[in-house]
Structures are given as structure tokens and as C-alpha cells.
Structure 1
Amino acid sequence: MNNSRIKNITKEVLSDNWYTLNKYTYDYQKDDGSWETQEREAYDRGNGAAILLYNKKKGSVVLTKQFRMPTYVNGNEDGMMVEVCAGLLDGLNPEECVKKEVEEETGYQIDKVRKVFESYMSPGSVTEILHFFVGEYEAGMKVNEGGGAADETENIEVLEMPFTTAMTMISNGEIKDSKSIMLLQYAQIHGLVESQQH
């Protein structure tokens, strides 16, 4: 951290019940050279990784479906979200994390993944950086049913669908998760998955 326009930073922990919510007070130098005191809250839940599993020959992708309470309280009627596979790093490097999450959530054991970009997902309030990956899967890589880690109460449904169906689900609002939209659009832009519509 090296910004000469910020000084006198103080941090107050507001909550550390699940992850950590901090309140930062600091002086910020405006464009006219004057200083003003600002306050911001930042939620620190660690960094994460997300991956789009795709099968180029079948023209298909593997997504997950699970209940997300924050979306339920903000207008998502049943609280269910269709998403790419993702998880927090929890001490692993991003590549190790996505491979572990893929096996836990989807039941596929993949050995080759490719990082395509990283992003701050909600830079106004959350510290998280998300590392984005893509990886090819095939039926022979399925080693268990998936569904999430038993101790994490995830209850994940595994969805395999045509890539074209997933793109339609973005258009009609069935997929509203930002990381999933970003990876599916990346796949579309870079031609990772062949359309099976002939």
C-alpha cells in the first residue's frame, strides 16, 4: 500500500462473527490539495477462485445451483442461484483451490486449469480479489456425485447443460451471478465452446 494522498489510517473491527467487518478512518487529499477525513467500511472474507468447466466437443458447461441467503433477502424469490464452481482460498493457492472446489462441488477431478484474469468483485465494500479460471472436463473425470463439502452445509445441485442454454439463461435473468456471467462471456468471446446448433 503506497498512496501519498492517504494518511492517518485507523482501523476498528466492527464484527468478526463470520468474516471480518472493519471500519477505516483516514485523511484523503483531494485534487485541490486540501485534506478531508473519510470513513469507509470494508468486509474482509479473504480471496477466492472461480472456474468455468467446459467440454468443447459436447458444447456443454457444468454449473452449480445452491441457496444464497443474501440474494433471498434482496428480491431473489427462492434464493437459488446458478453459478460457476467457486470457493475461498483458505490458505491454498488459487489453482489448488479451484481443483479442490471442482471435486467437492461437482464431483469432477480435473488436472489442467488455466487462469484467465482476476477481479475485485465489489470494490466499494468488499476486499476480495477473485481469480478466474477455465478448465476442460469430460465424463471420465467424474469421481463422485459432488454436492459440496459435508461440513459446509452447501447442498449443491450439479448442472450440466449446453453452452447455448447457459448464455440464454443470462439473457432471461436465470443466471444473475456476476462471476458466472463474466466467465461465460469470456468463453463466448474466446470461442472456448462450440455451438451444437447445426
Structure 2
Amino acid sequence: MANDVWLVVGLGNPGDRYSTTRHNVGQMVVDVLATRMGEQFRRHSRAGAVVAEGRPVPGGPKLVLAKSTGYMNTSGGPVSQLAQYYGVPNEQVIVVHDELDLPFDTLKLKSGGGHGGHNGLRDISSALGGGDYVRVRVGIGRPPGRQDAADYVLKPFASAERDNLAVLLEDAADAVESVVAEGLLAAQQRFHAKA
């Protein structure tokens, strides 16, 4: 029987200073999923992360939602530790992260591939021994003008973006649930068509 547990990791940095920044959009999405399941995050005893566990659909697969308690660039260790603890294979790990190369308010889903310069993905791929996990890429757009990308991702969403942010987070949470319930291809067909 296949493992019915999925590990869903929201990337971001710890603390209030970063909680509303573009770089933390992955953590915002897993917060939406936790709220939907009526679950609270708690510190995990074997990994540098907080987790919330539940089944969005009674009798359906279990989701382990996770947020590293360290910085994004060191997400690999906690993700690997949680995958081992719960016995989750790489193909049932879903990483939700910000994506500079997609326009704001856009979602793309894929499995495998490189890290595209994203240090959180680089560290996770290294710790898992490869990049064969699912990515929910949440578009945050490119910085305007000559603004440095590192500065841009660590700034809060602009007021014009905040109007659509709640819908984007709900859509990304729907995409995670769709991957688990219907598979990646069906989820791609549904969410890529919206782009």
C-alpha cells in the first residue's frame, strides 16, 4: 500500500520581521491549509520545524504541514528530517515557494528540475538527494527598475498586491490539495489554465 502521508513545506524565514514578505508566501499558504484543517502548528521534537497534521478530507491522505524554524537557505535539514520521520518519499513532498520568474498572482506546479537560483530549493534538493519533489511556485514577479532581487523578496507585498494576495494564497492552497487528491497532471491542467 502506498504511503498516504504527504509532507507540505511552506518556505520562508522565521519571525515577525519576515512574516508578511514576498519570500514568506510559502509559509502563508501552509497557514491557510492549517486553518482549513482546524489545526495549530506545534514544535516538532525531531526537526527544526513546526508542524500541523490533519486530513483535509475524512479518510483521505494525511497532510503534514511544515515550516522550518530556521532561515530559508537552511531548509533542507528540517525537510529531510521530517520526510524520514514520517516515511514520506520525495515524490510525496510538496514545497510551496515564492517564484521571481512568474508574474504576481500566477501559480505553476511542477515536479523535479533545478533550483533556478532559489537557495531554499537548492538546500532541500541537496538534503533530499535530488530534486524529484513537487513544487508549487507562487509568482511574486520581478523587482521594479533596478531594485535588487534580494531586497525585493524581503519586502512586504505592495498595497496594490495585497488586494489579490488572499485569493492567491487560497488558490495555492487549492493547488496543494489538488495535487494530493487528483495527482500532479490534473492539478497542472486546472491551475495552469488559470494563468
Give the TM interval when normalised to the shorter protein: under 0.3
Richer in strand (by share): 1
TM-score after normalising by structure 2: 0.25
Higher relative contact order (CA 8 A, sep 6+): 2
More helix by share: 2
- The structure whose Rg is larger is 1
